Amino acid sequence: MAHIVVVGAGGFIGGALAARLAESGAEIRAVTRRPANLPSGVPAIALGTLASSTDWTALFEGARSVVHLASGPNPTAAAAISPDWEETEVAAARHLARSAAASGVPQLLLVSSAKVHGEDTRPGNPLTSDSPLAPADSYAVVKLRTEQAMADAVQRSGTALAVIRPPLVYGPGVKGNFRAILHLVRRAPVLPFASIANRRSLVYLGNLVDLVMAVLRRAAPVRGSFLARDDEDLSTPELIRRIGRHLGRTPILLPCPAALLTLGARALGQRAAIDRLTQSLQLDDHATRAALGWTPPLAVDRGLAETCRWFLDWERDR
């Protein structure tokens, strides 16, 4: 039976995808950098550093799909991404795509980021998959360059490249910005966010994995770029209230002009963090749903409930 290779199976998204594939009965090759706890019956191949010299031949031979979710150990702040790290990431992705094409893999799938289109939108004017590419920070630049390098590598081959561009992904095991919000809601008695009138698209981990599965299940290989989102876009105050309900406590939200919040954040060197809380970033994924016959199976509240349940367990067990 032809197998599916998941590169980056030890990560937040990769681990969830490996579990879902295992449940579906698919034959998987789960590639990680170091030994990882994966679902029972999923063989893990720890390759160490994934680079432009990695030999993919044995793993890709006979594969029907390769899903690329891996990225190298990156700096803690996107602004600190070095040119060397960027070049290493892009070169490794280009080599992986060339190897997939050389092995005759029909489907290559990359999970990228909606940030390749930019960081903010005007309310009621969401981004589409045809929106201009306008990465605003070095993280998004790396994602876009990775997409372009992989597309170039398979251009004159029989390998089809599908790129999924999600917004912020949340779910059990989440780290980074979303976990910071969970900590904030759990501990802060008061937050000055009542005046924020933004709208942001998010995607629950289970919904993103379901979209990847929709691509992998297609009879014919899929080409193109696809945005992903949950069925609802939320403002920051609404997100905090919903998280609060699932955590069992909600901070009091007080009004404060967004401009004043931005000014204070800039003085503290936290401009990027407050922008994510005050600005809008909405996606229009109608093209994705029409092309793939897909809709997110899980509602936002279900996703938030699962995430908060995991977070409470994680805090208790630390």
pLDDT of residue 77: 46
pLDDT of residue 85: 80
Residue 235, helix vs strand vs coil = coil
Strand partners, 312: none
> Both tokens of residue 177?
């910005």
Strand partners, 162: 109, 224
Per-10-residue mean pLDDT of the chain, 318 residues long, equals 89 94 93 83 84 94 95 52 83 97 98 94 88 92 96 96 97 94 95 94 98 96 97 96 96 92 78 85 97 97 98 93
How many other C-beta atoms lie within 10 A of the C-beta of residue 223? 14
Contacts of 197 (CB under 8 A, 6+ apart): 123, 235
Residue 45, helix vs strand vs coil = strand
CA–CA distance, 8 with 70 (Å, rounded to integer): 4
CB 129 within 8 A of CB 165: yes
3-173+201-231+281-298 CATH pick, 3.90.1640.20, 1.20.970.10, 3.40.190.10, 3.40.50.720: 3.40.50.720
pTM of the model: 0.94
CA–CA distance, 137 with 280 (Å, rounded to integer): 17
CA torsion angle 252 258 261 262 (round to 10): 150
pLDDT of residue 80: 54
CA distances from 94 to 140, 166, 179, 251, 287 (A): 17, 21, 32, 46, 27
Q: Where are the domains of the chain?
A: 3-173+201-231+281-298
pLDDT digits 0-9 by tens, 147-171:
999 999 999 999 999 999 999 999 9
CB 96 within 8 A of CB 149: no
